[in-house]
Amino acid sequence: MFSPIFSSYLYIKKFNLDTKPLKNKTLKIKSNSPGRIVSNYGGWQSEPFSKIENPFENLFHQVNNSVQRIKQKLEIKNKIRFHNYWFNVNKLGSFNRPHYHPKSVISGVYYISVPQNSGQIYFEQYTDISMVYGEVNTFNEYNSTIWRESPKENLCLLFPSYLRHYVEPNLNKKNRISVSFNYGF
Task: Identify the structural domains of the chain with CATH numbers, from first to last.
Answer: 11-184 (2.60.120.620)
Q: Bridge-partner residues for 149, per DSSP? A: 121
Tens digit of pLDDT for each residue in 41-98? 999 999 999 999 999 999 999 999 999 999 999 999 999 999 999 999 999 999 999 9
> Taking the CA of residue 164 as centre, how many other CA atoms within 13 Å lie in the half-sphere pointing to its CB?
9
Main-chain phi, psi angles of 59, to 5 degrees: -55, -50
User: What does the pLDDT read at residue 129?
Assistant: 66
- Other beta carbons within 10 Å of 79: 7
What whole-number distance in Å separates Cα of residue 140 and Cα of residue 137? 10
**115, 135 Cβ separation under 8 angstroms:** no
User: What does the pLDDT read at residue 130?
Assistant: 65
User: What does the pLDDT read at residue 139?
Assistant: 81
The pTM of this model reads 0.94
Tens digit of pLDDT for each residue in 97-153? 999 999 999 999 999 999 999 999 999 987 766 667 778 888 887 778 889 999 999
CA 70 vs CA 25, 76, 155: distances in Å: 29, 9, 17
β-pairing, 95-99 with 106-113?
unpaired
**108, 64 Cβ separation under 8 angstroms:** no
Tens digit of pLDDT for each residue in 139-164? 887 778 889 999 999 999 999 999 99
**What is the mean pLDDT of the segment spanning 14-40?**
97
